[in-house]
């Protein structure tokens, strides 16, 4: 994974600006492809997205479209979004941690701090969702990532990804589950090993208390977990 732009939790970095020239990103892709590896890149700005697409990055993480101008919010480029679709690139839109953050605030938690680079022109959640919806309408394929380890994005909260897709992007429950399993595995180049239930794949299985096809929130209540064919949780009790 590369940091094509600065991040929101690094005070010395600027998420609105790029960290590598497109030539460096291109060289990284060329070398990774020589080794048969996909390349993912964190990118929060429109300029970073543009450079990643130009370089042939396989998987864009966040893809938030912030303008390089701190006096502006987002700088969404529909034509570039169409190019992402044509190029077959994946986008990990990372909406799950936004949903967890909203739920935490509704429960009384303080809002997360805002990076200095975006304080001057805060971008409402609905603006991010509007661009995400348009990207999906243009055929961009989304995977589910949580940005785990960040505030409100705890390591046991990955079910929030599917919930966010259902609540905010109008995914059906099965579409959201597929994005969280088979599609994410394909994006990582692991579709022939994990992500689906069929003979020959690694037996990673999850049983939940409820029916996720009716309520995606039940994905967060794992009762049984099988990892590579080995039980690690049964009847709600961890075995390791």
- Summarised one tens digit per residue, pLDDT across range 202-237 is 999 999 999 999 999 999 899 999 999 999 999 999
Mean pLDDT computed over every residue of the chain: 93
Left (φ > 0), alpha (ψ -120 to 50) or beta: where does 62 sit? left
- Return the axis-axis angle of helices 125-137 and 96-106, rounded to nearest 10°: 150
Give me 71's structure tokens: 């006096």
**152, pLDDT greater than 80:** no
Q: pLDDT of 62-116, one tens digit each? A: 999 999 999 999 999 999 999 999 999 999 999 998 898 888 889 998 887 889 9
Say what the pLDDT of residue 162 is. 94
Q: How far apart are CA 204 and CA 219, in angstroms?
A: 15
Say what the pLDDT of residue 153 is. 78
Say what the pLDDT of residue 54 is. 98
Say what the pLDDT of residue 146 is. 80
In percent, the amount of the chain with pLDDT more than 70 equals: 100
Cα 218 to chain centroid distance, Å, stands at: 20
Say what the pLDDT of residue 240 is. 82
Q: What are phi and psi of 143, to 5 degrees?
A: -110, 175
């Amino acid at each position: 994974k590369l940091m094509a732009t600065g991040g929101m939790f690094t005070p010395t970095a600027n998420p609105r600006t790029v960290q590598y020239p497109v030539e460096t990103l291109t060289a990284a892709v060329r070398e990774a492809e020589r080794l048969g590896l996909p390349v993912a890149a964190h990118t929060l700005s429109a300029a970073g997205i543009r450079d990643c697409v130009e370089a042939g990055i396989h998987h864009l993480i966040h893809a938030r479209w912030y303008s390089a101008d701190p006096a502006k919010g987002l700088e969404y480029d529909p034509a570039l979004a169409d190019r992402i679709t044509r190029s077959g690139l994946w986008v990990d839109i990372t909406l799950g941690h936004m949903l967890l953050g909203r739920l935490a605030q509704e429960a009384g938690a303080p809002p997360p701090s805002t990076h200095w680079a975006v304080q001057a022109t805060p971008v409402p959640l609905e603006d991010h969702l509007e661009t995400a919806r348009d990207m999906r309408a243009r055929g961009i394929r989304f995977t589910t990532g949580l940005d785990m380890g960040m505030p409100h994005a705890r390591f046991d909260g990955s079910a929030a990804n599917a919930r966010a897709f259902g609540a905010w992007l109008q995914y059906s429950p099965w579409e959201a589950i597929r994005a969280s399993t088979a599609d994410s595995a394909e994006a990582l180049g692991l579709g022939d090993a994990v992500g689906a239930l069929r003979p020959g794949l690694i037996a990673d299985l999850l049983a939940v208390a409820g029916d996720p096809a009716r309520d995606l929130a039940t994905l967060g209540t794992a009762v049984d977990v099988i990892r590579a064919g080995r039980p690690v949780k049964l009847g709600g009790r961890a075995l390791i």
